[in-house]
Amino acid sequence: MTRMLGITTVIAGAMLVGASPATAQDGFFHSPVFVAQPGAIHPFSAGASTEFNARFVTAIPLSIDRTTLVGIIQWTPFADNGAGGRANAPAFVYGPVVNVLNGKYASFDVDGLFAYGQAATGNSDYTHKFLVEGDVSLKLGGLMNAKSNWNSLSAYAMLAYVVSGLPTGVESRDRMVLLSGLSLPLAPWKK
The residue ranges of every structural domain in the chain are 2-187
Which fold does the domain 2-187 belong to in CATH?
Answer: Porin (2.40.160)
Q: Is pTM, for the whole model, over 0.85?
A: no
Residue 125 has pLDDT above 80, yes or no: no
pLDDT tens digits for range 4-55:
545 545 455 555 444 444 444 578 999 999 999 999 999 998 888 899 999 9
Torsion from C-alpha of 122, 125, 131, 137, nearest 10 degrees: 140
Tell which wins on pLDDT, 125 or 109: 109
| Neighbouring C-beta atoms of residue 7, cutoff 10 Å | 14
Look at residue 39 in the predicted model and tell me its pLDDT: 98
Residues 57 and 107: their CA atoms lie apart, in Å, by: 17
